[in-house]
Amino acid sequence: MSTLRTGGCLCGQVRFTVRGEMRPIIACHCVQCRKATGNFVTATSAPRGAIDITGEVTWFRSSEVARRGFCGTCGSQLFWDGPGVNLSVMAGALDGATGLTLAGHIYCADAPDWYVIADGLPQAPKADDTMTTQVRA
Ligand SMILES: [Zn+2]
Ligand SMILES: [Zn+2]
């Protein structure tokens, strides 16, 4: 028996399901995440093949190596598609209880000056592959 999670955007135009394990949630405090969302991002991830998407995702090429997926109708940020086997999924797009926990913070050096990260979890100044590419087996 495998875990099945569902999610979608605010207006419901985009819906998705994720089969199996998802990576612990990581908060990203980089400038791109801040500009795209107005805040920091919390995201989990799963292998691309485990994620089925219905509806139309609008993709913005945010850097040479990544694109950000959102709903073109309501603007909800949904996915981050970059290097690696996993597709990142915005934690807030998941429905209901996720069973996932926040495991750490990346790009802390770029965090804005209006909040303090004080939850005691690991903080990386920039990217940290040990936090973002793992999938809990
Ligand atoms: Zn929408
Ligand atoms: Zn970021």
Q: 92: CA distance to ligand 2 center in Å? A: 15
Mean pLDDT of the chain: 94
CA of 80 to the centre of ligand 1 (A): 16
Mean pLDDT of 5-14: 98
Residue 113 neighbours by CB under 8 Å, 6+ apart = none
Q: Say which ligand is closest to the CA of 27.
A: 2
Residue 125: inside a domain? no
pLDDT of residue 135: 55
| Residues contacting 78, CB < 8 A, separation 6+ | 7, 9, 14, 16, 57, 69, 70, 71, 89, 90, 93
Residue 116 lies in a domain: no
What CATH number is attached to the domain comprising 103? 2.170.150.70
Q: What is the CA(20)–ligand 1 centre distance, in A? A: 24
> CA angle at residue 114 from 41 to 65, to 5 degrees?
30
Q: Are strands 86-90 and 41-47 parallel, antiparallel or unpaired?
A: antiparallel
Domain limits at 87? 4-110
Q: What is the value of pTM for the model shown?
A: 0.94
Give every CB contact of residue 54 below 8 A, 6+ residues apart in sequence: 14, 15, 16
Q: Classify residue 83: in a domain, yes or no.
A: yes
- Overall average pLDDT of the 82-111 stretch: 96
The percent of the chain in helix, strand and coil, each rounded to the nearest 5, is: 15, 40, 45
Is 58 part of a structural domain of the chain? yes
Residue 59 included in any domain: yes
**% of the chain at pLDDT higher than 70:** 96
CB-proximal residues (5 Å) to ion ligand 1: 9, 11, 13, 71, 73-74
Instruction: Tell me: pLDDT of 1 over 80.
Output: no
Please state the domain count of the chain: 1
Distance 101 CA to ligand 2 centre (A): 18
Per residue in 34-92, pLDDT (tens digit) is 999 999 999 999 999 999 999 999 999 999 999 999 999 999 999 999 988 899 999 99
State the pLDDT at residue 137: 42
Residue 75 domain flag: yes
- The verdict on residue 52 lying in a domain is yes
Closest listed residue to residue 26, CA positions, set 137, 134, 113: 134
**C-beta of residue 45 within 8 angstroms of C-beta of residue 89:** yes
